[in-house]
């Protein structure tokens, strides 16, 4: 699910997210936001789905462990009252554990094995209860299930001039309650001092309980890592000192057993794979100029055809190896390396 989110976000960010116009007023050139590309509806929907899947994974692990420790089929009333609490203090957790609806489920009481595991995962152990992963996960999932899909927006990441220019100014960072809007001035510079500027948009989601904006992919990564490496191991084993659950298990094909699917799982998370795609895409823009500089006699069309045939990992390896050779043996050896690669050697 996170992989789907990252692909939609990646495609959106590749396009012209922001449009600009330069406006001259009072001896100052204003870089003004002229347009913002609409966000695909799939982004908030898939983001909410990914969060709900992570919340479900925690709940399912807890249910399975309760069933295992009870050692008997649960009755419908017990079944309905198994959930992972996310409490801000110990008194509220004890109130939840001692609720009459869980009277027969002694495995959820405070002095039980599972009770101690639940207590270990509570947000009130964190320096900031509001940012504890269980609190964040619960708030996001409750919001998307009972209110609406995730709140997302295109916001301003960074504004970076290509070179230092006296008098160049970047607008102050947007506050959480401020909206990035057409007509906003992003930077100013005195007239007669033109400077190219790189403007980085950021596709972000809002935390319902704090109002803070977080980069979508970063938020999903933090929650996924906590769910996989902390929450589920603690619920099932009572510790995080165990072999981590691999993040990339292919569920689009059938497997003879869960163990068989784990054996085939890969160690790269969806976010890590997205970062590879993002870096490779940027290098595909840079590499033609490197080839033109190092091997000017090779036709441009041949270079493009060669680079098109390289997958993401091959593109990154090509660039990294070129940099290593250039740094250790000099530009002539680096050019020879590129020549060998384009010749298929």
In this predicted structure, what is the pLDDT of residue 164?
A: 86
Segment 207-233 mean pLDDT: 96
**Would you say residue 55 has pLDDT above 90?**
yes
Confidence category of residue 175, pLDDT binned at 50, 70, 90: very high
Identify the sign of the CA torsion 116, 118, 123, 127: positive
| Residue pLDDT, tens place only, 74-97 | 888 888 999 999 999 999 999 999
Question: 190: closest CA among 21, 25, 33, 20?
Answer: 25
In this predicted structure, what is the pLDDT of residue 209?
A: 95
In this predicted structure, what is the pLDDT of residue 168?
A: 92
DSSP E strand stretches across the chain: 18-25, 28-36, 152-161, 169-170, 185-190, 197-206, 213-215
User: Is the model more confident about 74 or about 48?
Assistant: 48
Average pLDDT of the chain is 92
Question: 4: closest CA among 56, 52, 49, 39?
Answer: 49
Q: Give me the residue spans of the domains in the chain.
A: 1-245, 270-342
Confidence category of residue 115, pLDDT binned at 50, 70, 90: very high
- The share of the chain scoring above pLDDT 90, in percent, equals 67
In this predicted structure, what is the pLDDT of residue 246?
A: 87
| Residue pLDDT, tens place only, 243-272 | 888 888 888 889 888 888 888 888 888 888
Q: Do 215 and 204 form a contact (C-beta atoms < 8 A)?
A: yes
Confidence category of residue 230, pLDDT binned at 50, 70, 90: very high
Question: 170: closest CA among 148, 147, 195, 153?
Answer: 195
Segment 155-180 mean pLDDT: 90
In this predicted structure, what is the pLDDT of residue 212?
A: 95
């Amino acid at each position: 699910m996170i992989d789907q989110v990252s692909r939609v976000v990646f495609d959106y960010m590749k396009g012209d997210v922001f449009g600009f116009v330069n406006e001259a007023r009072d001896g100052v050139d204003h870089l003004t936001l002229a347009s913002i590309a609409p966000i695909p509806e799939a982004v908030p929907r898939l983001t909410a789905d990914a969060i709900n899947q992570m919340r479900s994974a925690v709940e399912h692990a807890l249910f399975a462990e309760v069933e295992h420790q009870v050692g008997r089929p649960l009755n419908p009333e017990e079944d309905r009252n198994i959930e992972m609490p996310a409490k801000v203090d110990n008194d509220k957790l004890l109130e939840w554990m001692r609720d009459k609806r869980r009277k027969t489920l002694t495995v959820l009481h405070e002095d039980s094995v599972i009770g101690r595991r639940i207590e270990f995962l509570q947000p009130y152990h964190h320096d900031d209860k509001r940012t504890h992963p269980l609190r964040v996960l619960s708030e996001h999932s409750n919001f998307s299930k009972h209110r609406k899909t995730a709140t997302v927006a295109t916001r301003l990441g960074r504004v970076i001039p290509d070179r230092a220019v006296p008098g160049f100014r970047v607008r102050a960072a947007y506050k959480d309650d401020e909206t990035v809007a057409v007509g906003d001035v992003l930077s100013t510079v005195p007239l007669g001092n033109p400077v190219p500027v790189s403007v980085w948009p950021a596709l972000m989601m809002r935390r319902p309980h704090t109002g803070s904006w977080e980069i979508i992919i970063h938020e999903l990564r933090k929650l996924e890592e906590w769910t996989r490496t902390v929450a589920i191991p603690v619920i099932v084993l009572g510790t995080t000192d165990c072999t981590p659950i691999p993040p990339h298990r292919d569920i689009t094909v059938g497997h003879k057993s869960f163990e068989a699917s784990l054996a085939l799982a890969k160690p790269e998370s969806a976010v890590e794979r997205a970062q590879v795609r993002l870096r490779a895409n940027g290098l595909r823009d840079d590499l033609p100029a490197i080839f033109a500089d190092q091997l000017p006699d090779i036709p441009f069309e041949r270079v493009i055809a060669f680079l098109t045939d390289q997958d993401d990992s091959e593109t990154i390896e090509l660039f990294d190896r070129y940099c290593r050779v250039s740094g250790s043996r000099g530009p002539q050896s680096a050019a020879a390396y590129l020549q060998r690669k384009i010749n298929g050697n």
